[in-house]
Structure 1
Amino acid sequence: MTRNLLSILPVLALCLWLCTAASSRLVKRSDDLDPLEAVVSQLSQTVAGLQAEIAALKSSKADNAVLLALQTQVRSLQTITAEHKVAFLARVDVDVAANAPIPFHAVDFNVGNAYDPLSGIFTAPHSGVYLLSTQIFPQFAGDVLVDLYKNGGIIIRMRVFDSTSPTSESTSITDHANAGDKYWVQVNVGGHIYAGAHSFFSVTIVFPDS
């Protein structure tokens, strides 16, 4: 439609020019010039209206292009979110000893089934950035050393120092994982830890690799 309007404009402009030229050359009475002036005025209004309509159509096309791009981005994000949902929260339901991965058996939720409550190990199903959080509450006073492992190596260490009463320790860290990387929490020094809501392990994917 924009192309049709653009093709009409030159014709209207020519008519407007001819009418203006004719009106300036004709030497007639005032009552003879009135119809010609009315035609010139009407043509001017028509040209102005068509120019405004063309501008509106161009703006509408630009808005439609932006809207289409945004809709495409939303669909892409929805697809990524649907395919890469990963999150879990698990707690200790029995007192555990040191020097082994802590099996957080009591699972509150396990979206994506990437956490194994029997072994206490989380396996990253997708490459991306993950948020890992844990809290440990030792059962007895004294130094307790708790480590967060990735593929057998310590990536963060927590220590509860000797005190007159038990004290909890918690930490969170973001880490990039490749698909198949494994994480777990392990008590390496110290005694048992409290079960229930006192001690937990949680992992959530922040965003997958594109």
Structure 2
Amino acid sequence: MENVHVHVVAALIIAALGAGGDLVRSDHVSRLDARLESLERQLLALNSTLQNRISRTAVAFEVTCNRSPFTLYTNEIYKCDSVTLNIGGGYHAATGIFEAPVSGTYLFWASILPYNGHSVYAILYKEGRSLGLAHASVGSAASLSYIVRLTRGQKAWFQNLKQTSIWGFKHSTYGGTLIHQL
């Protein structure tokens, strides 16, 4: 940025010296000064915009169940035993609840495999209101993807409907990520 200013100032000086006549030169220099100030303001505004875009917060979490079978009780919030990713610190392993560290549009997903002979329900909640439901019986996985807007501090989680057991060994996983910060 400094090199650009040096080159612009040098060009302005050369142009002013070559203009001929003190009054003409003075007027010419004044116009060039005004133009330079305008360009500097535009550069500052552009730099500010770029810094805002660069400083956007990254948020993502993913949790997987390693233990198998992994038992879930009626209306229990999913709290699998291995947090594999928690960028931004929004996921709270002790409660199984994600709290949005920034306002934005989030993508949540779950893929839950019921244990032998069981069925499973995975329900996504936002602030106590169910948003989406996935169900699976023997031989298939409950799979859910959902996009939702959260404001900073709002909570979302996955919850089970009735007591069941699910496969661990990384066959059951859930998570979320910020896809657009507001």
Give TM-score scaled by structure 1 length.
Answer: 0.63
1:154 to partner: Cα distance: 0.7
- Partner SS, residue 51 of structure 2: helix
Equivalent positions of 1:48-67 (< 5 A) are none
Residue equivalent to 1:96: 71
Q: Which residue of the other structure, out of 105, 115, 118, is the alignment partner of 1:139?
A: 115
Q: Which residue identity lines up with residue 97 of structure 1 in the other structure?
A: L
Higher-RCO chain (CA-CA 8 Å, sequence separation at least 6): 2
Structure 1 outlier segments of 4+, above 2 Å: 1-9, 60-73, 140-145
Residue equivalent to 1:4: 16
Equivalent positions of 1:1-210 (< 5 A) are 1=12, 4=16, 8=20, 69-79=45-55, 81=56, 84-94=57-67, 95-99=70-74, 100-141=76-117, 143-160=119-136, 162=137, 165-189=138-162, 191-209=164-182
Cα distance, 1:142–1:75 mapped onto 2, change above 3 Å: same
Larger Rg: 1
Cα separation, 2, equivalents of 1:98 and 1:170: 19
Structure ranking higher in helix proportion: 1
Q: Percent identity?
A: 25
1:114 to partner: Cα distance: 1.3
Q: Check conservation: 1:158, 1:170, Cα contact below 8 A.
A: yes
1:186 to partner: Cα distance: 1.5
Q: Check conservation: 2:112, 2:120, Cα contact below 8 A.
A: no
Cα distance, 1:119–1:196 mapped onto 2, change above 3 Å: farther
Flag structure 2 segments of 5+ consecutive residues without an equivalent: 1-11, 22-31
How many pairs align?
160
Q: Which residue identity lines up with residue 184 of structure 1 in the other structure?
A: W
1:135 to partner: Cα distance: 0.9
Flag structure 1 segments of 5+ consecutive residues without an equivalent: 10-56
Cα separation, 2, equivalents of 1:5 and 1:169: 77
Structure ranking higher in strand proportion: 2
> CA-atom RMSD, angstroms?
3.3
